[in-house]
Amino acid sequence: RQVPQEIAILLESMQPLKLRGYQPWETFCDSVGALMNNTLLPKDGKGVLVALRPVPGIRIEQALTLCRPPRAGDIVTLGENRLVLFLSFCRIPDLDTALKHIFPLPVADIFSNRMVWYEDAQIAAEIVQMRAMQPEKWSKPLKMTADAAPVASQRHDDNARRRVPTLITLLSEPEGEPR
């Protein structure tokens, strides 16, 4: 059956929300820019933009390997020694909850500085600044980041994340040997 045209337009306009995880700088700016211009989405309720600067001794490329957004629509890019995240539909009081779901270590252990934008106009203005940045300052992820899947062996509960234990066999018993 054919999708009615209004629904097709609506689905098309939600396209950026299908992305997840690392995006090149330009794709990131285009996606967040498109979301801000999308009048079908709630005003000032589209999400939170966060720029995080790693603690001394950690490179942003390394910090990115720890950034595993589980939710579609949560995207991240690297540039000017900052890791920039856009968390779709996250509300500002929920920012720490969302960051806990995304990083396997306490965020304060990885990043020393954070800047946050959450209203459409603020986010759009920051995207204009980001677009103006020279391509030399963009950073590329390490090879291992591109291959990494979201952390599978974890489960969320109300306040903390827990690893779900998985059974592993270190040495199999040689066949026929007495126990």
The footprint of ligand C2E (CB under 6 A) covers 69-72, 74, 87-91, 94, 97-98, 101-102, 156
Instruction: Kindly state the smallest distance separating residue 13's Cβ from ligand C2E, in Å.
Output: 17
User: Which tokens go with 118?
Assistant: 């959450």
For 93-115, what is the HEC assignment?
HHHHHHHHHHCCCCHHHHEEEEE
- Closer Cβ to ligand C2E, 26 or 94, answer by number: 94
- Closer Cβ to ligand C2E, 24 or 70, answer by number: 70
- Closer Cβ to ligand C2E, 82 or 101, answer by number: 101
Q: How far apart are CA 64 and CA 46, in angstroms?
A: 23
Encoded amino acid at 121, one letter: A
Instruction: Kindly state the smallest distance separating residue 57's Cβ from ligand C2E, in Å.
Output: 27
Q: How far apart are CA 100 and CA 66, in angstroms?
A: 11
- Closer Cβ to ligand C2E, 147 or 157, answer by number: 157
State the DSSP code for 108.
H
Instruction: Kindly state the smallest distance separating residue 141's Cβ from ligand C2E, in Å.
Output: 19
